[in-house]
Structure 1
Amino acid sequence: MLAQQRQSAILDLIRQHGGVRVSHLVSRFGVSDMTIRRDLEVLAERGLVDKVHGGATLAGPGSAEEPGFAAKSIRQQAEKRAIARRAASLVEPGMAVALSAGTTTAALARLLSEVRGLTVVTNSIPVADALYQDPRADQTVVLTGGIRTPSDALTGPVAESAIGSLNVDLLFLGVHGMSQRTGFTTPNLLEAGVNRCLVGSARRLVVLADHTKWETIGIATIAPLESADILITDAGLPSEGRTLIGEQVGELILVEPT
């Protein structure tokens, strides 16, 4: 296969799945790691893909474009793990917590299996799956019904009705973007409605957002910055963002990826 043909096939795969890993492409096309990385570099230079650690995703999403869960899961992996670890330290035995959809909240879910007497409310299929993989008799997982989105969130009136009748101690909210002007945002209108219900159900709001979410804007606002009691992000957040967010949220926590 010629390089141009291979690059076209790679682009088709990225468009189909939202993102791909280098290791998968090496296996699929039977070429070296360096060859695949050169192919991705060519596609990135043409503005067709964004290179991320370990792979590539579609380039330049607009405010209403929503990457799939698989595409988002290969972005900022170290940052998300560090954010999830810090978030897990806020959870105490016997709490009722809610986790919104998102790759960072899914990473958090994998750390909660050892917390005793925990009740978890979520509209995220991956979050529920992570908790079901290591079930505990003293743990309760409430998965809402609803319409499934590209980020594997359950949305719509069924999900909103289920969440509206509940009260939780903490909400861990994953977001698509955040800015001083628009607050916390999502590219999915249905998901925005469910997330607002989650915010309304929680005594305290903890937002989980890596540094790339700063000045990224989705079509729908979930909540203003000042609604967050705690925002956990990574040290890659620029100084301007640190200042502006620090002035708005209750507590800004910066973590170092490892």
Structure 2
Amino acid sequence: MLQAARHTAIVDAVQRERVVRVSDLAQQLGVSAMTVRRDIEALEESGLVERIHGGAKIPGDARAHEPGFELKSTQLTAEKHAIAVEAATLVHEGMAVGLSAGTTTYELAKVLLDGPRITVVTNSIRIADLFHNATGSRQGFPVIVTGGERTPSDALVGPIATAALKQLHLDMLFLGVHGMDADAGFTTPNLQEAETNRAFISAARNVVVLADNSKWGTVGIASIAGLEEADVLVTDSHLGEDARRILAEGVGKLKIAVP
């Protein structure tokens, strides 16, 4: 396929899917991953796409666009699983644990099904269903669901969710975020989700943020918290050295998971 045709195909895929992976494009176009990366670099220079780790997305699309759960669940799956396994080591028997909505916190929930018995508080429909449908020794896992208005990422948000969280006290919160940035901190593209997540943080004695490397440098429209409000940040080993340095200085403790 000629370069011009590849560029058109890549831009079409980004416009259609909003986020695409290099590996998927290489397979679709019948070229090497290196060729696709060079094409993405050229398209970024033209302002047609924006490079992210392992792929490309619509330029300037992060602040207010909220990808759905199904799309996000196909991205960086190995990294998210590694983060979940690392985060699970922080959980102990008898804890009251908050799990915010998100694909990485959902991965953590799957790991916790085989862990110590805890009480779970969540604003995620997916996580609540996961524990509800669990079999064997995990049946009857205590789960409190906040209620609220459903977002595209299957989070329950708004005044009902926020009011419920204000009445609770959590030993630990595992918080998924849309983006993390040296200046903006942790952010989301959903204003109501930001408010609900802030209530989650206020209810927790310890805050653990789960964020894969692609979240670095992404800034959503609404702030959740500053970097310093995270007692622990768990990310993956593909995060760059500069980002690691900034985060290590900003958060309480930086933990790196290896996929």
In 1, the alpha carbon distance for the partners of 2:106 and 2:184 equals: 25
Which whole-Å CA distance do the structure 2 matches of 1:61 and 1:125 have between them? 25
> Secondary structure of the residue that 1:97 maps to in structure 2?
strand
Contact 2:178–2:189 (8 Å) recurs in 1: yes
Conserved? CA contact 1:98–1:122, under 8 Å:
yes
**Would you say the 8 A contact 2:172–2:206 is kept in 1?**
yes
TM-score normalised by length of structure 1:
0.81
- CA separation of 1:190/1:16 partners in 2, compared to 1, >3 Å: closer, same or farther? farther
Q: Distance in 1 between matches of 2:176 and 2:229?
A: 14
Counterpart Cα distance in 1 of 2:242 and 2:125 = 35
- The 3 A distance-change label for structure 1 pair 63 and 140 is same
> Where does residue 114 of structure 2 map in the other structure?
114
Q: Distance in 2 between matches of 1:52 and 1:212?
A: 6
Q: Which residue in 1 is equivalent to 2:74?
A: 74
**2 CA distance for matches of 1:86 and 1:185?**
22
Inter-CA distance 179–59: structure 2 relative to 1 (3 Å threshold): closer
Could you give the per-residue CA deviations for residues 70-91 of structure 1, whole angstroms, max 9, x where no partner exists? 1111111111010000011111
Instruction: Quote how far apart the aligned CAs of 1:132 are.
Output: 2.0
CA-atom RMSD in angstroms: 3.1
What is the CA–CA distance in structure 2 between the aligned matches of 1:154 and 1:197, rounded to whole Å?
13
Matched, 1:87 2:72: no
Give the distance between the partners of 1:217 and 1:232, measured in 2 at CA: 18
The aligned counterpart of 2:124 is 124
Shift in CA distance, 191/56, structure 1 to aligned 2, threshold 3 Å = same
Distance 1:197 1:105, change over 3 A: same
Query: Which sections of structure 1, spanning at least 5 residues, go unmatched?
Result: 26-32
Q: Secondary structure at the match of 2:183?
A: coil
In structure 2, C-alpha distance between the alignment counterparts of 1:218 and 1:238, rounded to whole Å: 20
Which residue of 2 is the match for residue 101 of structure 1? 101
- Alignment of 1:217 onto 2:222: no
Paired with 1:139 and 1:246, the residues of 2 have a C-alpha distance of 35
CA shift in 2, pair 1:219/1:193, >3 Å: same
> Which residue identity does 2:117 align to in structure 1?
G
Change (3 A) 1:75 1:167: same
Paired residue secondary structure (2:209): strand
Q: Does 1:236 find its partner at 2:238?
A: yes
Residues 119 and 176 of structure 1: CA distance in aligned 2, closer, same or farther (over 3 Å) = same
